[in-house]
Amino acid sequence: AEVVIVSDQDAAGALVADAIVQLIRRTPDAVLGLATGSTPLATYRALAARIEADGLDVRGVRGFALDEYVGLPAGHPESYRAVITREVVEPLGLTPELVRVPNGDPAEVQHAGADYEAAITASGGVDLQILGIGRTGHIGFNEPGSSLASLTRVKTLTEPTRADNARFFDSPDDVPMHCITQGIGTILRAKHLVLLAFGEAKADAVAAAVEGPVSASQPGSAIQLHPHATVVVDEAAASKLQ
């Protein structure tokens, strides 16, 4: 992967937003792969500002979120459907019907994975996939042990990941036990991967992803199998790179 070390999250956001603006200029119906969590927020902020300043027409832009919790009530503010609407679709002015999130309804999850894969394939595939990385090394919610060839499916969240995400819920017990996530194989089909990471807590996961052996025990290391992966990190997240 190409590693770009930036001064802070805003610099990363500006860099990635610029790449996305160029993509949308070339391809007005570009397909964006969207991550949730804290890491991509600076990118979404910078992108919203660029779209506004440049008067860019994004009505044809399509999107696929990486993952969703299973079993949150419809409309729960921390469901990734709600988060993507609030943090991406509305501020960027995307067309809501063109932005998909995996279906975390327990009654639907049996076929939701296959449906999602079919929708991504029918779109022509993701042009640019934004990724964060978990302390456990997960990308999407592919926790250690996930097959490098996996497709969208239901997974159990690990305790460290539930603890990390408890900040978004009233009580740690409210964090769902399960999620539906694009697989590592799904993610690897995107044409360009952009993995973002900030802060010292991510340094081990970043080093394992960029320089470690390619292994299912470090899902982030799968980016080494991709011909066009860019890693954008601050000094702290880069601190364990050789």
- Residues forming the active site: 67, 138, 143
- The answer to whether residue 39 forms part of the interface with ligand F6R (CB under 6 A) is yes
The CB-of-70 to ligand F6R minimum distance in angstroms stands at 14
How many angstroms separate the CA atoms of 75 and 223, rounded?
33
- The answer to whether residue 35 forms part of the interface with ligand F6R (CB under 6 A) is yes
Considering only CA atoms, which of 40, 37, 91 is closest in space to residue 19? 40
- The answer to whether residue 37 forms part of the interface with ligand F6R (CB under 6 A) is yes
Q: Which is nearer to ligand F6R, 37 or 212 (CB)?
A: 37
Q: Binding segment for ligand F6R among 23-31, 33-41, 42-50, 54-62 (CB under 6 A)?
A: 33-41
116-128 burial: b if 16+ Cβ within 10 Å, else e? bbeebeebeebbb
Which residue from 140, 176, 185, 220 is in contact with ligand F6R, where contact means CB under 6 A? 140
SS3 129: strand
Which 48-67 residues touch ligand F6R, going by CB under 6 A? 66-67
The CB-of-76 to ligand F6R minimum distance in angstroms stands at 16
- E strands, 37-168, are 62-65, 67-69, 99-100, 128-131, 153-156
- The answer to whether residue 38 forms part of the interface with ligand F6R (CB under 6 A) is yes
Ramachandran angles phi, psi of 209, nearest 5°: -70, -40
- The answer to whether residue 85 forms part of the interface with ligand F6R (CB under 6 A) is no
- The answer to whether residue 99 forms part of the interface with ligand F6R (CB under 6 A) is no
Which residue from 13, 113, 134, 220 is in contact with ligand F6R, where contact means CB under 6 A? 134
How many angstroms separate the CA atoms of 37 and 182, rounded?
15
Q: Which is nearer to ligand F6R, 23 or 83 (CB)?
A: 83
Q: Which is nearer to ligand F6R, 56 or 126 (CB)?
A: 126
Q: Binding segment for ligand F6R among 24-32, 85-93, 127-135, 147-155 (CB under 6 A)?
A: 127-135
Q: Which is nearer to ligand F6R, 38 or 224 (CB)?
A: 38
- The answer to whether residue 139 forms part of the interface with ligand F6R (CB under 6 A) is yes
Token pair in block for residue 151: 């497709």
Return the residue matching tokens 């000094």.
235
* DSSP, residue by residue, 174-226: GS-SEEEE--HHHHHTSSEEEEEE-SGGGHHHHHHHHHS--BTTBGGGGGGG-
Q: Show Cβ contacts of residue 26 under 8 Å, excluding neighbours closer than 6 positions.
A: none
Which residue from 62, 81, 100, 138 is in contact with ligand F6R, where contact means CB under 6 A? 138
Ramachandran angles phi, psi of 180, nearest 5°: -120, 125
Q: Can you give the binding site for ligand F6R, defined by CB under 6 A? A: 35-39, 66-67, 132-134, 138-141
